[in-house]
Structure 1
């Protein structure tokens, strides 16, 4: 049984930065200390991560990026644009680009958020700690390929039937997530994100550009595709550490936020 997370004990303040294209990007921030910037996945919103972030804020400055609005028919931004959004938030939080160059900030990403974080780390030669929970990629081959048109059609005309398939992850999300309606409204986004993922398959040479330590958090009950992708990731990025999330899957941030926070904290100490 999933219990509702208690209200955060730290006051998370909403702030904004302006992305290069003029879009205002919101983020929630609390705590003091070395900053960690968090990027959520395609189905979630920043508030879904408050329970995890609240624990981290006991010893850190925690920043949760609220990724661009993706509901309804709004166009989903390409990966490169969300990387720029992340860069703008990091600059806003740290005050300058030299902090990033020194490795004075750490990064966390979940699912597609981990994709954004990793691309940013590759582009910048990131020196801080990188913590990735079930990162999404096309390391095992295209996720969508020639099925993109069919996926968009299904998400456009059969939202409830698509989301409410007998999938354990969807069932747990419906039971727990306070923003399920928003997740449902944003359903057209995942097919577009999966299309973006078809072009995200970092090579060993790409991974070598990341100068800081990388830790992968893998849910014990995450799906076989995610587990296979993690296995390939380990081969392509030598030296990466894998920490298991015992008893959890892709939505451990809902079911066991304390465990997820513990694993993030452990990763940041490596």
Structure 2
């Protein structure tokens, strides 16, 4: 299908029932959420977007802003007649901004890329962008892994991160991982640009569930209780033993169970 500005947007669909649109995180494609979609497909028709710069979808474009992803998700919602959204990481930030423009039957986000009061430290982004522009993908990935603290190896010396980056970029999914790195500067740049006191999210009226894992770096989960305080219709749940990649990689069944129990079973509003 096409978005409001004419950009081609592709998505994967599975299951039957009320529609749920899934918005992937940075560095992820629709197929990374196939296990999550399968878990939900018994009760919902799940539509997982390949966001701009991924798969069959069009490019981000030089003037990319988060509203482009919001437009795309709104178009998929309308096209599939869905009324619920799940967003992961940067996709969760897209979901929150979508809910500022459109009331949903339900919104679930897992560790959205929200920065409140400088909680997200993006000082590494210029170095990452410079290394990527120079074609030094391994060094750029090592910088990303070390500075975001998303790799479950703790604060080890940089050579360890370089070795991990090499494995990621030269494994079976290495070519796709390298291609997806090009989407990071614009998206992380939006996280930094949108840093605020969080007050804008008080305008969200959709029933909202904020999920996180207790094995995720604190800078990503500390904003969740604050968002639950700000958003009038929100509640926050921190899940034991889960990390940032629980929805797409490590615990899709657990996350799907939480999503499914929150969604209105008949497609109506909660």
Residue 176 (structure 2) pairs with residue 187 (structure 1): no
Q: Which residue of 2 aligns with 1:257?
A: 252
**Cα distance change, pair 245–174 in 1 and its aligned pair in 2 (3 A):** farther
Q: Which residue of 1 aligns with 2:211?
A: 217
CA distance, structure 2, for counterparts of residue 86 and residue 50 of structure 1: 18
The alpha-carbon deviation at position 243 of structure 1 amounts to: 2.2
Contact 2:205–2:232 (CA<8 Å) still a contact in 1?
Answer: no
Residue 247 (structure 2) pairs with residue 247 (structure 1): no
**Cα distance change, pair 247–181 in 1 and its aligned pair in 2 (3 A):** farther
- Partner secondary structure for residue 193 of structure 2: coil
Q: Which residue of 1 aligns with 2:128?
A: 151
> Which range moved further: 59-68 or 150-159?
150-159
Matches of residues 1-270 of structure 1 in structure 2 within 5 Å? 17-69=1-53, 75=61, 77-94=64-81, 105-124=83-102, 126-141=103-118, 143=120, 148-157=125-134, 158-164=136-142, 165=145, 167-168=151-152, 174=168, 179-201=173-195, 206-252=200-246, 253-268=248-263
**Cα distance change, pair 146–163 in 1 and its aligned pair in 2 (3 A):** closer
Q: Which runs of 5+ in 2 are unaligned?
A: 154-160, 265-269
Contact 1:143–1:194 (CA<8 Å) still a contact in 2?
Answer: no
State TM-score, norm by structure 1: 0.78
Cα distance per residue 1:51-110 (max 9 Å; x no partner): 011110101111101101159x9646311111111111111111xxxxxxxxx6111000
**Cα distance change, pair 56–161 in 1 and its aligned pair in 2 (3 A):** same
Q: Which runs of 5+ in 1 are unaligned?
A: 1-16, 95-103
CA distance, structure 1, for counterparts of residue 60 and residue 74 of structure 2: 22
The alpha-carbon deviation at position 28 of structure 1 amounts to: 0.8
CA distance, structure 2, for counterparts of residue 33 and residue 232 of structure 1: 33
State TM-score, norm by structure 2: 0.78
**Cα distance change, pair 57–268 in 1 and its aligned pair in 2 (3 A):** same
- Partner secondary structure for residue 138 of structure 1: coil
CA distance, structure 2, for counterparts of residue 256 and residue 204 of structure 1: 29
The alpha-carbon deviation at position 184 of structure 1 amounts to: 2.5
- Partner secondary structure for residue 187 of structure 1: helix
